[in-house]
Structure 1
């Protein structure tokens, strides 16, 4: 047992949970494809336990970061990550640069979310700032972790990651001038129920102007997301709570502002048409109705 005197650190803390994990495990007993999916997803999350993974790839392309100095946004060496079962805890030292540290954390979490969603995996989480002990061996505990967990369990509700009021008060709000903007400002928004955060599809909207995100890549990714949402809508006949989550995702998907789209004239996002059910009111399957979607 260590004799080193321990003390809490104030860190930005994120608790992320995979939704429907128990059901996927149950399905995997009869479906080998589900076993492979589970294994690949958990291995992917496990990879993020390395501090170097939390890099600047998606921050350094942001004009807001470039103007302030990209090096200030580097959280490598300041980040600890622990994954267990269907959850992951990430904490970052603030070093008095809370806006920069929060930016890089959110940008990377948004990317992770997009990767998982294209595989049909939904996540939910909470981010706060609080006292925590979190070391490179994976040991983690503290009030900051409890608060992040409670945000995920009690307030997030839908497949999204929300921010605590405590953290929001530390960030650069109200935002009065564009020059005071940080990368996280492009990711987070206030939802209809008052919560502030981002979902797994925000990544596509922000990254749309990145030169490496070709029209082909964006089209393929959004097509995959679309299929995941439609499939989710069609497997929830006896699960109204699950259905609500996918309806919520469908609504968020339709709100995406994607410029590199199929339609260069209207410059509209792909979206799942809100009129599908109205056009085919006797068709209870979204997938069948979608076959007649002229913007598929």
Structure 2
């Protein structure tokens, strides 16, 4: 690989509450195993996405961060969006929430090193704009989605990538789109119940920490908006539970 920047798409993901997750995993072997397995799976995206050829797909994890990138082609864009959505859902199954940024720009990404302006941009989106468990996409990527070739490429996937606009403006990867097509989900009923319970448990734990509660509440409302479309069970918010007493 030439040691120079090329134009690539890059996703920077941050695992929310990582310190607490690691602390809890020290005293619970099952939680430690689940955390390690989830992170290893994210790092090994190559073996998970062989349905269509990636465009020089690279993935790395370090501490609470995940970085994935691909060449700046329509195929690379679609492949990386699907990978990020799948990663978000896979981690949610283990009660792990991610926040991130997805950008297009100059990047160098090898199995050992990742750096460049595009990574800085994606990191800035995650740390300064995203706020809640969502992965935002930048304006240039958003513009690329309007190309006719992107739609053709996306339609080749059983579960095409979907982008939605948040109430506060920015476009984000609609990773819960998987709930709209349950036939592509393994053991859908159990998986959905596990994800919903994870959100409800996080809500219950976070009511004493308003800043954290705001993040989890956003995820709960996002879940409920998709659930209302599909007829699956809603996440119970703490106030909803109190109202039943």
Give the shorter-chain TM-score range. 0.7 to 0.9
Cα displacement string for residues 172-208 of structure 1 (whole angstroms, at most 9, x for unaligned residues) = 17x8xxx778459752100101011125423222x33
Q: 1:278 offset after TM fit, Å?
A: 5.0
Take 2:140 and 2:208, find their aligned partners in 1: how far apart are those partners? 38
Q: Equivalent residue for 1:195?
A: 170
Q: 1:5 offset after TM fit, Å?
A: 6.3
Q: Equivalent residue for 1:280?
A: 242
Take 1:45 and 1:251, find their aligned partners in 2: how far apart are those partners? 26
Cα displacement string for residues 122-170 of structure 1 (whole angstroms, at most 9, x for unaligned residues) = 11111110101111x2211110111111111111111111101122123
Conservation of the 8 A alpha-carbon contact between 2:135 and 2:172:
yes
Residue 55 of structure 1 pairs with residue 17 of structure 2: no
Q: Equivalent residue for 2:234?
A: 271
Conservation of the 8 A alpha-carbon contact between 1:189 and 1:198:
yes
Take 2:68 and 2:121, find their aligned partners in 1: how far apart are those partners? 13
Tell me, which stretches of 5 or more residues in structure 1 are unaligned?
57-72, 260-266, 284-296
Which is richer in helix? Answer: 2
Conservation of the 8 A alpha-carbon contact between 1:134 and 1:140:
yes
Q: 1:12 offset after TM fit, Å?
A: 0.6
Given candidates 121, 144, 152, the residue that maps to 1:147 is 121
Take 1:37 and 1:253, find their aligned partners in 2: how far apart are those partners? 23
Conservation of the 8 A alpha-carbon contact between 2:18 and 2:64:
yes
Q: Equivalent residue for 1:133?
A: 108
Conservation of the 8 A alpha-carbon contact between 2:82 and 2:161:
no
Residue 15 of structure 1 pairs with residue 20 of structure 2: no
Bigger relative contact order, structure 1 or 2 (CA pairs below 8 A, ≥6 apart): 2
SS where residue 235 of structure 1 aligns? helix
User: Please, what TM-score do these two structures have when normalized by structure 1?
Assistant: 0.72
Q: Equivalent residue for 1:247?
A: 217
SS where residue 87 of structure 2 aligns? helix
Change (3 A) 1:79 1:110: same
Take 2:137 and 2:15, find their aligned partners in 1: how far apart are those partners? 18
Conservation of the 8 A alpha-carbon contact between 1:162 and 1:197:
yes
Count of equivalent residues: 240
Tell me, which stretches of 5 or more residues in structure 2 are unaligned?
none
Q: 1:213 offset after TM fit, Å?
A: 4.2
Cα displacement string for residues 241-261 of structure 1 (whole angstroms, at most 9, x for unaligned residues) = 1111111111111111588xx
User: Please, what TM-score do these two structures have when normalized by structure 2?
Assistant: 0.85
Take 2:67 and 2:219, find their aligned partners in 1: how far apart are those partners? 24
Residue 93 of structure 1 pairs with residue 71 of structure 2: yes
